[in-house]
Structure formats: structure tokens, C-alpha cells
Chains A and B, each alone.
Chain A
Amino acid sequence: GGGPSPHPPAGCPQRRLGPRERRDLQREILAVLGLPGRPRPRAPPAAARLPASAPLFMLDLYHAMAGDDDEDGGPRERGLGRADLVMSFVNMVELDRTLGHQEPHWKEFRFDLTQIPAGETVTAAEFRIYKLPSTHPLNRTLHVSMFEVVREQANRESDLFFLDLQTLRAEDEGWLVLDVTAASDRWLLNRNKDLGLRLFVETEDGRSVDPGLAGLLGRRAPRSKQPFMVTFFRESPNPTRVPR
């Protein structure tokens, strides 16, 4: 390590690790830390180096979690303290049914779940999307609902599973957090399938609103305001999720 190492007792020849041994040692520590065993791809292009929303959020979480590392072994407080692993998923694809298309309007997001390690239990999952004040004369109160796309149907609407509903005002600005934990039961069943989340916006009187017009930002937003998903896991012997 980098710190002052103890001097070996006299007469004990200090052995330098050969390059192969050093690589083996590194691989061992990587395995203990659960880190991917290979360097990241080449540095992304300059534009992509701007701080993105998910890493920024995760860095805040890291500082919060590192702060209570010393309390390890104490009573497990809810939420963050109980998590062994927090994964953020950047949004891969976005399908929008916006103005000009038939109603209802929606935004759909896809997430690649293949990286979720086996043997972890989802204790919480949330979808985060940034909202700007709406620039269109909309009713003051908007209802944002989130569904999981359970099955696409060729000749009719997809099968959807309700996840969360949040009520906000058209002029609100900031991160909107939607609870998608209920979708995680299905992840354990078919891990290799992408997760589809569909977001609808309605006015007080039930009229469908294009989420973009309501000020909700998607993939085309600045990197620091793009939507992402965060999932909290806890190592568990049995894969079923503990009811929240």
C-alpha cells in the first residue's frame, strides 16, 4: 500500500513482487472489492466529460454513505444505510408519443438490467427526471404517473403495471423522483430483459399532456439534467425482496 509499511524483522529478506505476482495481487483485491477487472474504455469525447446527472447524484450518495461507514455493524437504519450496493442506470433509449400523435401522450425510457448482480435484493428503486417550469399555458396542477411496460402488444396498447403517481404544479422546477421499486419483482424473473418505464402527464380534469410541454426533460436535456434510475440493493441469501 501507499502508507509507511512496517520494516520486516532483521534477516527477513524483503521480497519484491514480480509483475505477474503484482497482477495476481491486484486481481485478488479487485475480486474482494467487486470491481470490474479491466480499465474503463478510452476517455469519452470532451462533450461527454461534462458532469452527468447520474455520477453527480451517486457522488453525493457516496459522501453520505462513506460518512456512516464507521457505524458499520450498528442498527441498520432504513434506506441508504441498509444498502450494500447502489446502482445508477443511465437511460438508453427514449420513445416519445408527443403532440401530433394520438392520445394519450407519453415518454418511455429503457434501462439495461443485465449488469444487476445475482443474489442481491432490491430494497428501493427510483426514477429521477428533471422538470423545468412549463412554458405553456397549462392548468396549474399536473399529475405525473409512472408505469412499467410489462408486455408490448402489436395491435393494441401495451400491458402496463402502475408504479407511482406524483402531483405537482406547472411552474415547479427541480428533480422529480418516482418510486419504481414495485417493478423490481419482475427483474429477478427475467434479468436479461430491458426495463421499460412509461411516464404520463395529465391535467386536473384528466386531459393528456405532452410530458415535454409540461417541462419534463428527456435524453436531449443537458447531461447534468438527463433522466436516470437508481436502485438500492442489499445482499441477501434468498432472492425474494423484503416487502417495503
Chain B
Amino acid sequence: AVRSLRRRLPKKSNELPQPNKLPGIFDDAHGSHGRQVCRRHELYVSFQDLGWLDWVIAPQGYSAYYCEGECSFPLDSCMNATNHAIVQSLVHLMKPDAVPKACCAPTKLSATSVLYYDSSNNVILRKHRNMVVKACGCH
């Protein structure tokens, strides 16, 4: 039996969730037990702080972001959830010890480029794919 919904589902909004805000069943960004719903969080990798600017020409660092938060039933459309994740979170409700909740993970990643010197003083430009989280969701 699914836990009775504590409040009416908010009107389904059809705009895509802002990458850093994934509203779940509750208006605010907090799921059950006060944990945040799955969403993107800021994580800045600073080459400056790591002391690498003597050979990294650009950038000074980059925003990598990370995903964290609850994937609690019901995973409505705003949580970028796969169908499988919806079923898994339902089964988790029925058998919490047997099946874990779905995971909050990146659903879209983009690249970042780094310009640096190699040991022969040649200048190298390397594009690293899948290094920046663009959106999170439940998988």
C-alpha cells in the first residue's frame, strides 16, 4: 500500500527543471525526512588552489558540480527519473531491505578544456569529455 500522500500533488509544471533545482513531490527542495531531493550542487575544482597555475595556462579552475539528494517515491517527471527508477523506488517502498532506492546521478554531462604546457614546453589543449554535470536525475 502506498503511503497516503500528505498533500495534493502540485500542478504539473511542464517546464524542464532548472539544473540546480529538481522539485519533487514537495514544493520546497526537501524530500521525506527533511533530506533534499536529487539535484545538482556546486563543486568548483580550482587549479589555483591546487597550485597548478605554473603549468596550466587556462582556465584557473572549472565548475564540475555533483548530484546529491533523495530519490523517493513518487518520482514525478521533474526528477529526470527513468521508468526503471520509478518502478525501483516503488518496490523499495514495499521491500526496503531487499531493494534500495534509485540513485541520484548525472543525466547530462558536458566537456571542459584545459590549456597547459608539457615537459618540452609545447602548449597542449585537451578537451575532457563528461567532466561537468549539466543535469541530475534518478537512475
Chain A interfacial positions (CB closer than 8 Å to B): 1-6, 26, 29-30, 32-36, 38-40, 54-55, 58-59, 61-62, 65-66, 69-73, 83-90, 112, 114-115
Contacts and interface: CB of A to CB of B under 8 A. Distances in A.
17 contacts: A1-B49, A1-B61, A2-B48, A30-B52, A35-B55, A58-B125, A59-B57, A66-B58, A71-B110, A72-B109, A72-B111, A73-B129, A84-B127, A86-B124, A86-B126, A87-B123, A115-B119
B119 A55 contact: no
Q: Closest 5 interchain pairs by CB?
A: A3-B44, A2-B46, A72-B111, A40-B55, A86-B125
A33 B128 contact: yes
Contacts of B117: 36, 40
B37 interface: no
A85 B113 CA distance: 9
A59 B129 CA distance: 19
B125 A1 contact: no
Given A2-B49, A3-B42, A36-B55, A65 B118 contact: no
Contacts of A58: 57, 115, 123-125
Interface of B: 41-46, 48-52, 54-59, 61, 63-64, 68, 108-130, 132, 134
A114 B118 CA distance: 11
Q: Is the interface of B mostly helix, strand, loop or mixed?
A: strand
Contacts of B64: 1
B130 A72 contact: yes
Nearest to B64: A1
Contact of A84 (B42, B109, B126, B132): B126
A2 B118 contact: no
B59 A66 contact: yes
A69 B111 contact: yes
A90 B46 CA distance: 29
A51 to B, nearest CB: 11
A83 B127 contact: yes
A90 to B, nearest CB: 6
With a 10 A CB-CB cut-off, give which of B42, B68, B119, B121 has the most chain A CB atoms. B121
Contacts of B63: 3
Contacts of B41: 6
Contact of A55 (B48, B57, B130, B132): B57
B137 to A, nearest CB: 16
Nearest to A55: B123
Contacts of A115: 118-120, 122
A89 B118 CA distance: 10
Nearest to A83: B127
Nearest to A68: B111
B55 A39 contact: yes
A4 B44 CA distance: 8
Nearest to B42: A3
B45 A1 contact: yes
Contacts of A39: 51-52, 54-55
